[in-house]
A and B are shown apart, each in its own frame.
Chain A
Amino acid sequence: MSEIYINHKPDSNAFSADRPRLTRKETLEKFGISDEEALT
């Protein structure tokens, strides 16, 4: 299990345990998607 767009997650809830957590920027970089190509 992983989490992406972690910087968009509301502060009020979080999953416990360690796992990869990528910000939107890191997610787009990982999948080679440009900012313009990203829908959200």
Chain B
Amino acid sequence: MSVVPGTRRGGCLCGAVRYTAGLTKLEFGACHCDMCQRVSGGVNLSFEVPAASMRIEGEGSVVSYRSSDVATRSFCGICGSNLWYRGNDPSGKPQHYAVGFGTLDDKSGMIFASEICIDTKPDAYDFAGSRPRQTTAEVLG
């Protein structure tokens, strides 16, 4: 696994949780599923970080909520910032982080690469631009 093009820093609103993430690609995506809408309070934008490439400071302030059998969502227990989503693997294999795009210190150069669960996006808004957009059924395959 190669980590390019380097690392980015980020953290929550109050600064209690900080991270250094090694990115494999400068891409992020939107998930329009109902749970992501609720946990983000809007549109959930996130980028992937391999488990081995994520270093967290202030981990004691991270609160995690197992939102389903599929995944666990984490936020800052002090300021409430939505931090990341991780899959639940019964085997215990470390799962990648889907880190909230808004938590990045530097968002430059990041490409909005995909939208998923497009069938549950509210009609009230759309993102401009062209990119792959998958329905929930297509994502679950």
A interface residues, Cβ below 8 angstroms from B: 1, 10-17
Contacts and interface: CB of A to CB of B under 8 A. Distances in A.
Contact of B126 (A10, A12, A16): A16
A12 B125 contact: no
Nearest to B107: A10
Interface string B94-122: 00000001000001101110000000000
Contacts of B108: 10-11
Given A13-B127, A13-B129, A16-B126, 16 more contacts: A1-B124, A1-B125, A10-B101, A10-B110, A11-B108, A12-B107, A12-B111, A13-B30, A13-B45, A14-B128, A15-B127, A15-B128, A16-B125, A16-B127, A16-B128, A17-B125
Contact of B127 (A1, A10, A11, A14): A14
Contacts of A14: 127-129
Contacts of A1: 124-125
B41 to A, nearest CB: 15
Contacts of B126: 15-17
B127 A12 contact: no
A13 B112 contact: yes
Nearest to B111: A12
Interchain residue pairs A-B with the least CB separation, the first 3: A16-B128, A10-B107, A14-B128
A14 B125 CA distance: 10
Interface string B72-114: 0000000000000000000000000000010000011011100
A12 B129 CA distance: 10
Interface string B1-33: 000000000000000000000000000101000
A20 to B, nearest CB: 14
